[in-house]
Amino acid sequence: MSEAQTAAPAVTQPERHSPSAAQKAAAPPPSPAASKLHDYAKLLGEGEIAELRALASRMKGKSVMMVNSTSMGGGVAEMLNRIVPLIAELEIPIRWDVISGGEEFFAITKAFHNALQGDAYELPDESFHKFLATNEANRGRLKFDTEFVVIHDPQPAALIDARQGKSGHWVWRCHIDLSQPNSKVWNFLAPYVHRYDGAVFSSPAFARQLPIPQYLSSPSIDPLADKNRELEPDFVAGVVERFHIDPNRPILTQVSRFDRAKDPVGVVRAYQIVKRYIDCQLVLAGGGASDDPEGEQVLAEVRETAGKDPDIHIVDLPPWSHLEINALQRASTVVIQKSLREGFGLTVTEALWKKKPVVASAVGGIPSQVIHKHTGLLAHSVEGTAYQIRFLLSNPAIAQRLGEQGHEHARENFLIVSNVRRVITLLLHLLR
């Protein structure tokens, strides 16, 4: 592999907290080595990978640069960690660069992120100068010598200043929901976005009225990653036992942060309705309560609503608990995603991939994942969610069919190989 094809940027590992006693109890299966294309061929068929190679051969040595703001933590870094090596394996010279910035810069971009998703923006105007100064410093540090430059998210968006005239092809890949942005932040950012050759969004609902072409690319999951790969039944059983869940009664699970938008209180209420008819358990697995004041508050509300019900299991996991999440999803009878607002539910795709029947809210991008009565069931209320869960628990054959069709849906549309294919197709289109 040439230097230009080297995938991972130079970074340091974050400090990892000691696992709890419960986490120490079971030895996790060893993580597999980095996946190669032939590993995916075993899963998807040789023909699919041959097709990808045929597509990639059209790139004829054109080089690609990906830029984002972090090398680990968060969905974008996770995705780049996986797709950059695969694109390199397709003999497309690719480099991944990460911008640097101090604490102040990242506090500003965090506020940008929230504001662009609809929150208020309360930082002083100097924050815009700091944002631009950090982008400029990175512009001097990074080398923009590739045919394609793909800039991910708002943090490095002003790097477009590095473009010489109309040279190369510059794409802004926006992973966040821009449907109702704070106007102050968006009006600041938009002139930079307008100078790209195109913008890519995860859902048509996230797009803005822009003077440049807008493209669509669904987020993907990696079927070979710890969060999604096949697990030994013993490991799954061990995780279930560790969290004191009864494997002999139906398990309803929602995996999400303790965030109001995910409506965990609504999930508890739906479970309480179901429980009147069917003896079942609820698992709320997620994180975000320990380092987020609102998360703490939401968790307190969940606990209050749950009361002393021993069949409600609130599992607050650290962000690296991929195998545990995987095991809990695989052990579930029904997976719930009762979000009040959701761009694209990666946890929904994860459940579909694991052939689990899903009951989800008909909001945002979820109806494209859960096609009602085909790949899961949609609901619009607590009562509706409860009804759909009861229906699935009472009709296991239908639940199984939905799970199997959901798996095919994920396989066809939401896996990493499809994502690589979409990236290459977009770049080929820009070459025209």
Partner 1 sequence: MSDLGPFQFGTASYVVCVGNQSASTLQELQKGLESCSDASIFYHTFQTLGRHHFLTEGFSNDFAQWVLGSCNRPALAERLASVDIRDYVGLTELRTDLTRIVREYCEANPREANQAAFETLYFCETIEEQVPLGKEARTLEEFRAGLEDLPHAALQFHFITSRLRLHLHTNDFSVWLTKELGRKELARKIDQIDIYTYTLDAARARILNLVDREIRP
Please give the structure tokens belonging to residue 271.
């479970």
Q: How far is the CB of 17 from partner 1 (least distance, A)?
A: 40
109/419 with CB nearer partner 1: 419
47/307 with CB nearer partner 1: 47
Q: How far is CA 412 from CA 82, 113, 233, 408, 420, in A?
A: 18, 31, 26, 6, 13
Please give the structure tokens belonging to residue 413.
């549309």
Q: How far is the CB of 204 from partner 1 (least distance, A)?
A: 3
Q: How far is the CB of 344 from partner 1 (least distance, A)?
A: 13
CA quadruple 223, 224, 226, 231: dihedral sign: positive
DSSP code per residue over 151-201: EESSTTGGGGGG--TT-SEEEEE--S--SS--HHHHHHHHHHHTTSSEEEE
> Which of these, 319, 308, 309, lies nearest to 285 by C-alpha position?
319
> From the list 265, 328, 382, 426, which residue makes contact with partner 1 (rule: CB under 8 A)?
426
Q: Does 24 bind partner 1 (CB under 8 A)?
A: no
> From the list 230, 234, 383, 412, which residue makes contact with partner 1 (rule: CB under 8 A)?
412
Q: How far is the CB of 190 from partner 1 (least distance, A)?
A: 16
Q: Binding pattern to partner 1, positions 345-374, x when CB under 8 A? A: -----------------xx---x---xxxx
> From the list 5, 81, 217, 347, which residue makes contact with partner 1 (rule: CB under 8 A)?
217
> From the list 378, 382, 389, 399, which residue makes contact with partner 1 (rule: CB under 8 A)?
378
Q: Which residue has the tokens 């070979």?
A: 224
402 close to 378: Cβ distance less than 8 angstroms: no
36/372 with CB nearer partner 1: 372
Please give the structure tokens belonging to residue 390.
């009861």
Q: Does 409 bind partner 1 (CB under 8 A)?
A: yes
CA quadruple 141, 62, 56, 425: dihedral sign: positive
> From the list 74, 213, 238, 384, which residue makes contact with partner 1 (rule: CB under 8 A)?
213
215 close to 199: Cβ distance less than 8 angstroms: yes
279/408 with CB nearer partner 1: 408
149/199 with CB nearer partner 1: 199
For 191, phi then psi, to 5°, come to -60, -30
Please give the structure tokens belonging to residue 349.
């795709």
| 323: three-class secondary structure by DSSP | helix
* Binding segment (CB under 8 A) for partner 1, from list 91-99, 118-126, 213-221, 224-232: 213-221
Q: How far is the CB of 218 from partner 1 (least distance, A)?
A: 9
How many residues form the binding site for partner 1 (CB under 8 A)?
41
Q: How far is the CB of 407 from partner 1 (least distance, A)?
A: 9
Q: How far is the CB of 263 from partner 1 (least distance, A)?
A: 16
CA quadruple 400, 408, 374, 275: dihedral sign: positive
Q: Does 91 bind partner 1 (CB under 8 A)?
A: no
* Binding segment (CB under 8 A) for partner 1, from list 16-24, 64-72, 145-153, 424-432: 424-432
Within 153-212, the residues that bind partner 1 by CB under 8 A are 201, 204-205, 207, 209
Beta-bridged to residue 171, according to DSSP, are 150, 198
* Binding segment (CB under 8 A) for partner 1, from list 64-72, 235-243, 341-349, 417-425: 417-425
Task: Burial-class residue 401 by CB neighbours within 10 Å (0-12, 13-18, 19+).
Answer: middle
Q: How far is CA 374 from CA 11, 66, 389, 392, 411, in A?
A: 43, 36, 15, 13, 15
Q: Binding pattern to partner 1, positions 30-59, x when CB under 8 A? A: ---------------xxxx-xx--xx--x-
Please give the structure tokens belonging to residue 244.
């004191």
Q: Does 215 bind partner 1 (CB under 8 A)?
A: yes
115 close to 185: Cβ distance less than 8 angstroms: yes
> Which of these, 238, 231, 328, lies nearest to 287 by C-alpha position?
328
Q: How far is the CB of 331 from partner 1 (least distance, A)?
A: 25
Q: How far is the CB of 397 from partner 1 (least distance, A)?
A: 14
Which residues here bind partner 1, judged by CB under 8 A?
45-48, 50-51, 54-55, 58, 201, 204-205, 207, 209, 213-217, 362-363, 367, 371-375, 378, 380, 405, 408-409, 412-413, 421-422, 424-426, 428-429
